[in-house]
Amino acid sequence: MTGWLALFAAGLMEIVWALGLKHSEGFTRFWPAVVTLAAILASFWLMSIALKSLPFGTAYAVWTGIGAAGSIVIGMTLYGEPASGVRVLCLSMIVAGMIGLKLSTPA
């Protein structure tokens, strides 16, 4: 598995565990809590694989950016959170930053 692929998968797991936190209701619901904990472990494991070949700062920024951007999109699409122009602009800047980091990293 390449570092970038592991990093992308780790970012997707960030989204899963953030979503799981919402559905676990403070870890009071068993299965959502189990999924959340499994996604956290998977995210950290995949991130550790990515860090073998990618620069730390780049990997961390992209990892959290995928989680943040994905969570924003899910919030807007599934939970009716506002999709104002300012929010979409800020989301676009997160995505642009991740693309810039990817393009400027030699790994």
Angle at the Cα of 42 from the Cα atoms of 29 and 4, rounded to 5 degrees: 140
Amino acid at 1: M
Would you list the domain boundaries of the chain?
Answer: 1-104
- Beta-carbon count within 10 A of 85 CB: 8
pTM comes to 0.92
pLDDT tens for 6-58 read: 999 999 999 999 999 999 999 999 999 999 999 999 999 999 999 999 999 99
pLDDT tens for 52-87 read 999 999 999 999 999 999 999 999 999 999 999 999
Mean pLDDT of the chain: 96
Percentage of the chain lying above the pLDDT 70 cut: 98
Instruction: Indicate the burial class of 19 (C-beta count within 10 angstroms; 0-12, 13-18, 19 or more).
Output: buried
Nearest to 16 by CA among 58, 74, 93, 99: 74
